[in-house]
Amino acid sequence: MGNFWLKSVIDRTKILTELNALTQQKIIRSPIIYQRMKDPALLKFYYYAKNKTLIDRLEIEGSSPPDLFIGRIGYPYVFIGPLVAPTKDNTSLLGMPELWVGKNIESIVEFRMQMVRGTHRVKVTDVDTGKIVGLVQELALAKNPADVEAEFTKKPFARIRLDDEVQPYGPSAPLKDMMVSSATTDQKIEKAYYDEDLKAFDAVVNLYEKGSLVSKIQKAFSAGLFGLKKNRKFVPTRWSITAVDSMLSLNLLEKVKKFPLINECRVYETIALDNLWFILMIPSYWAYELIEAWYPKTVWNLEGQTTVMYSSHEFFEGRSTYAEIGGCYYASRLALSEFLNKERRQATVIVFREAHPGYILPVGVWNVREHVRLALRNNPMKFNTIKDASNYIFSKLHIPLKNWFANSNILKHLKFQKKIADYFK
């Protein structure tokens, strides 16, 4: 899993060219045609074309949510820069994925494609060098939307690139200069920034415990605001998202592993963005698995004819390698660990995710974190045995039990573990 380029580039480019001409003539005014084609590139193109007149220029005056993006190509030399909408309206929503629950994919793409990304190349260790570096960090420190004036060396251009780790954004262009005004500093993040003896891990955990949004902490971490002075550096956005999710969940799990077990088998569930989510909690010591099933014509199975499945897991001692399934694993683990910590209980947890064809565009791992959180806010179904709980889950999921079982290490472990084997009799 990871970044991918859509296939049939030549044919799609021809279609995009034709649609661009129609859009310029105002023949196409609705995204319905794009939605029916179920093509993520065309959906992104529609909203890019819709906003093109606002961004087809070398200078943009607008508002940043605040938001920024740090690339990873060429590391340790990377491109940093602001994400700016060409409007002076309140753009907070555009940069706060915690508030996107309940939005459909079209809405998310629409407001994210407004965001123009400015790019400025730096070495990751140059966190104290130059005007643009300082202003990007000022955005990471900001509490509310900030006014931004960005001057580019060429007009912003949209590349149709999709990513499973980070939320979509619009066209980009190299920055020539920028100015930031009306930025109100977040005092909690500012305090961590000026504490040059505070380790990054401690800064992340302290801010979370004081109520800072996870997405806000991730941006500040990415901008090199935390850690010992000599160790500070820019962190690519996709890496910072996973790093913060991982650090926070590991900190919470140190507490969770000392709590008593839950008393019964539980099933939590929700449906969002044409994804089915089922969470099975079992009264046993901490273990965790995320299993994802992708139908044909979905994000990670566009050309497939059969459903594909991915999974990653850990037992009580945790993992020593990066999860095969990627950042979604750590986003889900954070949601689970904060829930169990709040309940002061521990459990073995399996998260089942079934992605259906309506999920045509990756919108970032926030989708996993926030929808697992959403499922856990619902009242659970309770069962006396694992078998009864499993029967309920697999009566709701479309893919047969045998497929899930074949891809699950924890289900196999539970079945053959002598201590609770009687659950399956």
User: Is residue 197 assigned to a domain?
Assistant: yes
Nearest to 341 by CA among 262, 269, 283: 262
Range(s) of the domain holding residue 77? 55-181
Query: Do 306 and 420 reside in the same domain of the chain?
Result: yes
**What would you report as the CA-atom Rg of the chain, rounded to the nearest whole angstrom?**
22
Q: Is the pLDDT of residue 82 over 60?
A: yes
Query: Do 275 and 367 reside in the same domain of the chain?
Result: yes
Round to whole Å and give the CA distance between 252 and 336.
Answer: 10
Of 135, 152, 181, the domain-final residue: 181
| Helix, coil or strand: residue 122 | strand
pLDDT-derived band at 302, boundaries 50, 70, 90: low
pLDDT-derived band at 16, boundaries 50, 70, 90: low
| Helix, coil or strand: residue 147 | strand
User: Is residue 38 assigned to a domain?
Assistant: no
Query: Do 214 and 71 reside in the same domain of the chain?
Result: no
DSSP secondary structure letters along 14-74: HHHHHHHHHHHTT----THHHHHHT-HHHHHHHHHHHHHHHH-SSEEEEEESS-EEE--TT
Query: Do 342 and 420 reside in the same domain of the chain?
Result: yes
Query: Do 338 and 400 reside in the same domain of the chain?
Result: yes
Of residues 1 and 64, more confidently modeled: 64
pLDDT-derived band at 6, boundaries 50, 70, 90: very low
What rounded mean pLDDT belongs to the chain?
Answer: 88
User: Domain of 66: which CATH number?
Assistant: 2.40.50
Query: Do 176 and 193 reside in the same domain of the chain?
Result: no
User: Is residue 3 assigned to a domain?
Assistant: no
Q: What tokens were used for 312?
A: 């990653």
Mean pLDDT of 57-69: 95
Query: Do 197 and 175 reside in the same domain of the chain?
Result: no
Instruction: State the pLDDT at residue 1.
Output: 44
Look-up of token digits 């990670």: 300
Q: Is the pLDDT of residue 359 over 90?
A: no
Peptide bond into 76 cis (omega under 30): yes
Mean pLDDT of 160-179: 84
Instruction: State the pLDDT at residue 325.
Output: 93
Share of the chain above pLDDT 90, in %: 70
pLDDT-derived band at 46, boundaries 50, 70, 90: confident
Query: Do 161 and 195 reside in the same domain of the chain?
Result: no
Phi-psi region of 405 (alpha: psi -120 to 50; beta: other; left: phi over 0): alpha
User: Is residue 284 assigned to a domain?
Assistant: yes
Domain count, the chain: 3
Query: Do 90 and 140 reside in the same domain of the chain?
Result: yes
Instruction: State the pLDDT at residue 5.
Output: 32
pLDDT-derived band at 300, boundaries 50, 70, 90: low
